[in-house]
Amino acid sequence: MSSTSHNPLPEKPPIGLYGGAILFAAPERWDEACFAAPALRALRAARPLSTIGVVCHEQQVHLWQSIGKIDAIITYDRRTKVSALRHALIESKKNWDAALLWESNLVSDLCRSMKLKQILCYQTKPLSRLATDLIPLPIVYGPATHRVQHYLNFLEALKIPYNKPHFFQPCQKRTQPERAQLTISPLSDFGPSHEWPADSWKQLLEKFRSEHEAEISLVVLPDRDLPRELKQLDCRIQPMEQWSDAWRIFPETTITVTADSSFAHLSAHVGAPTLTLFGPNDPDWKRPLGKQNRVIRRKVECSPCLSNKCALDLRCQKELAVEHVYDALVRMWQER
């Protein structure tokens, strides 16, 4: 007696990006925005005839303008309401029909109210209920992969090629400033555990100044007070009232030496060679993008802990020797 086999169920059609006018919802953190930039470049290259717009916080305008070939940049601030943002999209006079979402914020609330034809996002709890198409979160085994892969895996699921070197290059070619300038940024918006001791910065600058001729500037991050020890350093102090002020600082910079912070990622994004001092964070996961940049760290038994407040004694920062940072800085200085 023969048995008949059941017909197999048809496979689910592959996920694709079908919209002709696509909104890219920019991540609000500066480091995440820099990591998302290659994905936006790849999307632009893959869809040359599509209309592509970025929805971002108003302070990020310079960053997304630097990508180039973006048809519209719609901004908001902390006071903006969904209705005002929807009106701004209408005023852009584009028939938006698809959106790429990365996180739950004002833009995701906007997409919920606009009833777009397609909303794509990762399969995460805050966003899943909004999506028309969900991208499965990749399962990572073994060592950490760089955070930029979070955005590139999304494109891979949409069959969008992303492995071209120019997608990862700095946003513009920089000309060397007329006078050599070392820019330092000792503070971190990621928390005090990400900051090298003030005395170590003092020793580094004294040693560097004794052997190299350069103007030295110290950048003060927004909403941060400079500790008394750092105020005593012999260098020009440049306070940033807001993050967008960074764009007036970078053209003057020969090399940036910075704590692990948003400033490190912005410096790398615009092409200023950047030396980042890592502590509790994992450089394999969150190092600034770009071959012209370097990271240095003191690997201790409790790192990377990823904490913004040290539970022990800040050993990853205190044991990072001035000599090691100085040697790395001099090598970069000589390359320039």
Judge contact between 197 and 271, C-beta under 8 A.
Answer: no
| 116-140 confidence digits (pLDDT tens) | 899 999 998 889 888 999 999 888 7
CATH code at 181-335: 3.40.50.2000
Taking CA 238 as the corner, what is the angle to CA 295 and CA 274, rounded to the nearest 5 degrees?
A: 15
φ/ψ (deg, to 5) at 62: -60, -40
Q: What is the pLDDT of residue 260?
A: 97
Q: Which two tokens stand for residue 86?
A: 């929807």
The architecture (CATH level 2) of 21-168 comes to 3-Layer(aba) Sandwich (3.40)
pLDDT at 308: 87
The helix (H) or strand (E) run that includes residue 296 is strand 294-297
Give Cα 85 distance to the centre of its chain: 24
- Tokens 């919209």 correspond to 19
pLDDT of the residue at 249: 87
- Domain 181-335 in the same topology as domain 21-168: yes
Looking at residue 47, its amino acid is: R
Helices (H), the chain: 30-46, 61-65, 82-91, 106-114, 125-128, 148-157, 198-211, 228-231, 246-249, 262-269, 283-286, 315-318, 322-335
pLDDT less than 70: residues of the chain: 1-13, 172-177
pLDDT at position 12: 63
pLDDT at 167: 94
Name the strands in the sheet holding 181-185, side by side, starting at the edge strand that comes first in the sequence.
236-239, 215-220, 181-185, 255-259, 274-278, 294-297
- The identity of residue 40, as a single letter, is L
The full set of domain ranges for the chain reads 21-168, 181-335
Q: Sign (positive/negative) of CA torsion 140, 144, 146, 147?
A: positive
Give the C-alpha separation, 177 to 217, whole Å.
Answer: 14
For the full predicted model, state whether its pTM sits above 0.75: yes
Cα dihedral sign for 252, 258, 261, 265?
positive
Read off the pLDDT of residues 303-326 as tens digits, 9 standing for 90 and up. 899 898 898 899 999 999 999 999
> Could you tell me if residue 68 is left (phi over 0), alpha (psi between -120 and 50 degrees) or otherwise beta?
left
Nearest CA among 77, 72, 85, 79 for reference residue 114? 85
